[in-house]
Structure 1
Amino acid sequence: MDKDIGRIVEVRGINVKAKLFRLLPPYLINNGIVVSAPKINSFVKTKVGLDTIICQVNGEYNVEKEDKATDYYIDLTVKGYIDHGKFIQGLRMLPIVSSNLSLLNNDDYAIIYDFDKDHSFFIGKDLFEINKDIYLNFNNLMPTHIGIFGNTGSGKSNTLANIYSHYIKELNGYVSSNAKVLLFDLNNEYGKNSICNKQHKVIYNLTTRKQSSKRIPFSFENITEDEMSILLNASIKTQIPTIKHAFKSLKEEHEEEYYLKYVKNTIRNNQKDLFFAIRFRLNEYIKKINNINWHSNALNFYYSKDDGTRIFNNSSDFDSIVLNNIQINLPAEPLDRFKFELCFSIIRECEHGVNFEFLLPLLTRAEKIFNDLKKVFDFEDNSDIFENKNLAIIQLGNVNNDMTMIVPSLISSVIFRRQLEKKQGEEIKTIINIVLDEAHNILYKEDDLAVHNNLLEKFEKIVKEGRKFGVFLTVSSQRPSDISSTILSQLHNYFIHKLVNPNDLNQIRKAVAFLDENALNFLTILAPGECILSGTSLSMPIFIQIEELDNETKPNSNNVVLFGRDGIIK
């Protein structure tokens, strides 16, 4: 039987006042079970006929006469009602004056926090209801876009790891899984056994200081012409056509004689700058040209023989002795082959009157970007990035700024295209969760950098359209105000830890439609590990103390201990 604690004395729309029968102690005994007395943000219920209305406590006060408390009241807000065993958020009905107010029982909580234990996981405890465990349903949470926000040290990394630790454990229980998780780790916090044992995940610890020990398998064919144009920051009128011709030539698979013709014409036409640029960048693929030099006075190429004599470009035997002996060795590595094609595409454009100085920046940019790309990608390996595992972690803590933007952009773009191709009007058969930790570092609002704007555009497309194709985004950040408002507003579920910055609070206020002002006021005083969960996975927002993972499973994001037994100063 439910425990009655008071009665309704006033109803003004959704705002309700109730008078308690007596002053309640902090804890009550209900059917032999210890439960919390009504307190701020906890729930109570009242009946209208056979219907049950759920209200949330907003405040409490008493009335005193002659310095003695005589009456005790609580202010309530109507949240919804229970209809045929299901909680519905809304205002189909309101409480009636003089109806009794009761505590919720376990069945009521099970209805409000609807979950199927066969497909749910324990996330933590209700902050305001003692002994109330909170479970989240995988089917309601994982196929959604998720945001995890909070100041540094508030517990957001533990929350992210907690969610995906349970999810990967669930996936590993199936022989074959059609669900994968790809985590971009910007601070290298999710290595070793974080989230799950390292034997159940694949880790790519990338660096641009040298070639990474384990590079990401990635087919060059996955890079489109448009993406290459953005990588090389190509101008629309002159440089992009050159890149498109390089792609076209790559598909045509020309023989060596095709390229020899362009090299010979460059020398015959005395295109000094173009020739030396090609020789510098393609020296290992074009042989017998190192002894060809430029005579500044004669304004002509010449060839230096071993005996010291010179054969000038305009001499009759220059072709037979010099040009006809040049050799072309086509590169095998895909990125080198494209650079090779790009150089000859530039030669072709220059023959058609384009100024070489307009195209030279392409080669300079390509030299740097391609060098970094080969340190983190293996373009000759077409194997699966997940290696038949359910979790892949790409650590970006040791790569430069270009690769921090480019790696997530290229991989996420390929994932989205493949998911789109797989669906083809059919039902979704596979899903992929893309996780961005410290997302404010790459999903900040638009700037003048083409590579970043391209990255942002792709993730905005995923958050707007990914649900239809089984691609879902999880972002974790300590600065929600820095993240693109398009992404922030399209998330389905929000885990919001402590936030104190006014800009962050205002951004959450605008983006999270499920939160009322009363809940938002608590964000500045939440303790580490405490958060508000609001979104489509639950019927209403709830305050949770997130379960803390063990030291081996949690990410490497703990605060440094300065003094003491475990301190760094002995």
Structure 2
Amino acid sequence: MSHFKLSELSAIGYVVGLEGEKIRVNLHEGLQGRLASHREGVSSVTQPGDLIGFDAGNILVIARVTDMAFVEADKAHKANVGTSDLTDMPLRQIIAYAIGFVRRDSDGYIFISEDWRLPALGSSAVPLTSDFLNTIYSIDKDDLENAIELGLDSRTKSVKILASVDKLLTRHLAVLGSTGYGKSNFNALLTRKVVEKYPNSRVVIFDINGEYAQAFVGLPNVKHTILGEKGEGEHVKDPQKQGEPFSEEYFCYKKIPYQALGFAGLIKLLRPSDKTQLPALRNALSAINRTHFRRGNIYLQNNEGGIFNLYDDCRDTDQNKLAEWLMLLRRRRLVRTNVWPPFNSLANLVAEFGCVAAERQGGSKRDAFGFSNVLPLVKIIQQLSEDMRFKSVVDLDGGGELADGGIHWGKAMRDEVDYFFGKEKGEGNGWNVHIVNMKNLAQDHAPMLLSALLEMFAEILFIRGQDKSYPTVLLLEEAHHYLRDPYAEVDSQIKAYERLAKEGRKFKCSLIVSTQRPSELSSTVLAMCSNWFSLRLTNERDLQALRYAMESGNEQMLRQISGLPRGDAVAFGSAFNLPVRISIHQAVPGPKSSDAIYSEEWK
């Protein structure tokens, strides 16, 4: 007799073939439907995807059903084989693949996810009760204290699906699915449960469509920032006090100072060509702390009070001294400024560094050919300086204090990282959830600005080091907009988001990457995710991206993904014993992402 009291379970069939990992089972004639009854109720046993067990002495082998078929009467292994009775129903067989086994533990049962243990020929196949399913789907006993409940097993609707916060978030999480199938609900459910369970958590949400504030109503220490400037005549309530329950009326507006985007972030924003424009832009960014601005003029100043005006065109004014002044500028011999000049001063610096050329008889000149190489970059800077959509989100006026000692970019970036992503370990932060609302961000600016924000965070995070980093989760909604290079198929520059994906976990940064188009996402970021929640996906390119990136799962799982109903997902990865189809709980309160009811509103 087995250790598992299988006598309490009615056998549904017996093993008649073992072909590699494939187990062939003959079903008993008494089982005509899809369900098998037992003392604890009924279980589904013959549908593709069902789990069944096999008595293997001191263990219970667990297998997943993949196929079901009739067997011709002359080939059937039946008790009355050889008779002339041809009216009998042909024998039914199921095919299953081993996925692991259950063994007894000192405290009960544990599930081991190994597919090499197979039952013996003739072993009884039995349905699995809720106790066994809980053992299979559950997590290690050591992780129960850190577990959050995400939903129910889609087949039985009786088994709770739990996940350890540590295993779920330590190595990045991908949330995939077509629009309208529940990504936002899952993201809101997961982040709210984490914040409710851990009062010292830190979650930053890139809220592209302005839908997440509603999901955190009632929780303390929630900060809601709307990128941009306050509308004319709009009233903004005083900021929420620490510990006070959050409501949607608590928010503030904020513009990002252009200098906070940093050296690398501005290079990503302006997209210079490598050979001609990038050197001029690098020189310009390095020299901006010695560039003065007054009454519309951009100029340099020496220690004797001499002044040299910089221009963003190729005029011949004072050009014979240009090389000399630019050399002093590069060598940091000129008077530094105490305040940031406006953003458009970069156009003057780029133009002058790009067009300067030496004269044969001595001195220098502005060379038209050199200027033509940097002119496209100058135009981009000028256009952004005049773009009202860009100016409404990014502060281009300058004017803030400019730090000394060659760390001017670092100081400006650090202040903004403290605001958006939280302060370093040991410093008071004042919030657990920061919703960065980007509904005012123009679609064509979103990839540039969001990539620059991640660039800023990555640089400061790696400067802080592992000891000063605080565990932070970044929820990146609609990630296909900015976790890629939208302007070129090949980009030789290192991308901050890929560095965060590769090395972020060492610095206590975890990504929740949410997208409806995984095929448009960086393949490096997808490959670094160790947990996956895939809601319905139907596009073949998206399914192919999932097939290439995931480490576990199989073709049958992928086929399920294209037919999932709303709210169901296939979950797999390091946080789960085996791939599982889950009906995700409804987030209460949920985000503002419900479908329009046209018939009601059109009445």
Same-fold call, TM > 0.5? yes
Give the alignment partner of residue 150 of structure 1, picking from 167, 171, 177.
177
Mapped partners of 1:490, 1:526: distance in 2: 25
The offset of 1:487, in angstroms, is: 2.4
2: distance between equivalents of 1:11 and 1:182?
A: 51
Report the more deviating stretch, 338-347 or 385-394. 338-347
1:448 matched residue in structure 2:
488
* Equivalent-residue separation in structure 2 for 1:527 and 1:215 (angstroms): 39
SS at match of 1:187: coil
Q: CA deviation at 1:271?
A: 3.2
Q: Does the CA-based 8 Å contact 1:530-1:543 persist in structure 2?
A: yes
Cα pair distance change 1:198/1:534, threshold 3 Å = same
Q: Structure 1 residues 53 and 460 mapped into 2: Cα distance closer, same or farther (>3 Å)?
A: same
Structure with the greater relative contact order (CA < 8 A, sep ≥ 6): 1 or 2? 1
Counterpart of 1:55 in structure 2 is: 63
Alpha-carbon distance, 1:98 to partner: 0.9
Q: Alpha-carbon deviation of 1:517? A: 1.6
Question: In the aligned structure 2, how far is the partner of 1:10 from the partner of 1:270?
Answer: 87
- Which residue is equivalent to 1:8? 15
Code of the aligned partner of 2:47: K
Match of 1:73 among 79, 93, 96: 93
Q: Which moved more, 1:553-562 or 1:402-411?
A: 402-411
- Structure 2 counterpart of 1:569, which letter? W
1:169 aligned residue: 196
* Residue 16 of structure 1: how far off its partner (Å): 0.5
Letter in 2 for 1:492: S
Between 207-216 and 4-13, the greater mean CA deviation after superposition: 207-216
Establish whether residue 384 from structure 1 lines up as the match of residue 384 from structure 2. Answer: no
The Cα shift of 1:345 comes to 7.1
Is 2:561 the counterpart of 1:514?
no
Counterpart of 2:160 in structure 1 is 133
2:267 to 209, 216, 229: 229
Quick one: which of 513, 530, 536 aligns to 1:498? Answer: 536
Question: For 1:252 and 1:270, how far apart are their aligned partners in 2?
Answer: 22
Secondary structure of the 2:203 match is strand
| Contact kept in structure 1, 2:316 and 2:366, CA below 8 Å | no
Q: CA deviation at 1:414?
A: 2.8
Q: Report the AA paired with residue 122 of structure 1.
A: E
- CA–CA distance in structure 1, aligned partners of residues 100 and 315 of structure 2: 82
Residue in structure 2 matching 1:431, options 461, 471, 495:
471
Task: State the AA in 2 paired with 1:376.
Answer: V
Cα deviation, residue 406, structure 1: 2.8
Q: Aligned partners of 2:101, 2:62: CA distance in 1, in Å?
A: 5
Which residue number corresponds to residue 220 of structure 1? 259
> How many residue pairs align between the two structures?
498
Q: 1:125 Cα deviation (Å)?
A: 1.4
Which residue number in structure 1 is paired with residue 209 of structure 2?
187
In 2 relative to 1, CA 264–215 (structure 1 residues): closer, same or farther, beyond 3 Å?
closer
Give the alignment of 1:340-351 within 5 angstroms: 340=345, 343=348, 346-347=351-352, 350=356
| SS in structure 2 at match of 1:214 | strand
Deviates most, 44-53 or 339-348: 339-348
Contact 2:151 2:583 survives alignment (8 Å):
yes
Q: How does 1:9-408 map to 2 (within 5 A)?
A: 9-21=16-28, 22-23=30-31, 27=35, 30-33=38-41, 35-63=43-71, 66-69=86-89, 71-82=91-102, 85-115=109-139, 116-171=143-198, 174=199, 177=200, 179-190=201-212, 192-197=213-218, 200-207=221-228, 214-215=253-254, 220=259, 223-224=262-263, 226-236=264-274, 238-251=276-289, 257-258=301-302, 261-263=306-308, 271=316, 332=339, 334=340, 336=342, 339-340=344-345, 343=348, 346-347=351-352, 350=356, 352-355=364-367, 357-358=371-372, 359=374, 361-369=376-384, 375-377=392-394, 380=400, 382=415, 384-385=419-420, 386=422, 388-408=430-450
Q: Secondary structure at the match of 1:69?
A: coil
Task: Name the amino acid aligned to 1:48.
Answer: A
Query: How far off is 1:496 after superposition?
Result: 1.4
Q: Which moved more, 1:401-410 or 1:239-248?
A: 239-248
Separation of aligned partners in 1, 2:431 and 2:310: 53
Please give the per-residue CA displacement for 1:208-256, whole angstroms capped at 9, x wherever unaligned.
89799611566936602x4333333334455444444444444468898
Q: Percent identity?
A: 22
Give the Cα separation in 1 of the matches to 2:267 and 2:365. Answer: 21
Structure 2, unpaired ranges of 5+ = 74-84, 235-251, 293-298, 320-334, 357-362, 401-411, 423-428
Partners of 1:273 and 1:400 in 2: how far apart? 40
CA contact (8 A) 1:188 1:397 kept: yes
Give the alignment's TM-score, normalised by structure 1.
Answer: 0.76
Q: Are the counterparts in 1 of residues 25 and 93 from structure 2 also a CA contact under 8 Å?
A: yes
Match for residue 586 of structure 2 among 543, 548, 556:
548
Deviation at 1:137, TM superposition (A): 1.5
Structure 1 position 421 matched with structure 2 position 444: no
Following superposition, the deviation at residue 136 of structure 1 comes to 1.6
CA shift in 2, pair 1:202/1:62, >3 Å: same
Partner of 1:482: 520
Partner of 2:425: none
1:541, CA displacement in angstroms?
0.6
CA offset digits 1:99-135 (Å, max 9, x no partner): 1222334443343223344221221111222411211
What's the C-alpha RMSD, in Å, of the aligned pairs? 3.8
User: Given residue 64 of structure 2, which amino acid in structure 1 is its aligned partner?
Assistant: Q
Partner amino acid, structure 1, of 2:95: D
**Alignment gaps of 5+ in structure 1:** 275-327
Where 2:575 maps in the other structure, the secondary structure is coil
Measure how far apart 1:141 and its partner are: 0.5
Moved more, 4-13 or 19-28: 19-28
Instruction: Describe the shift of the 1:57–1:134 C-alpha distance in structure 2 as closer, same or farther (beyond 3 A).
Output: same
Is residue 489–residue 511 contact of structure 1 (8 Å, CA) maintained in 2?
yes
Q: Does the CA contact (< 8 Å) of 2:268 and 2:448 recur in 1?
A: no
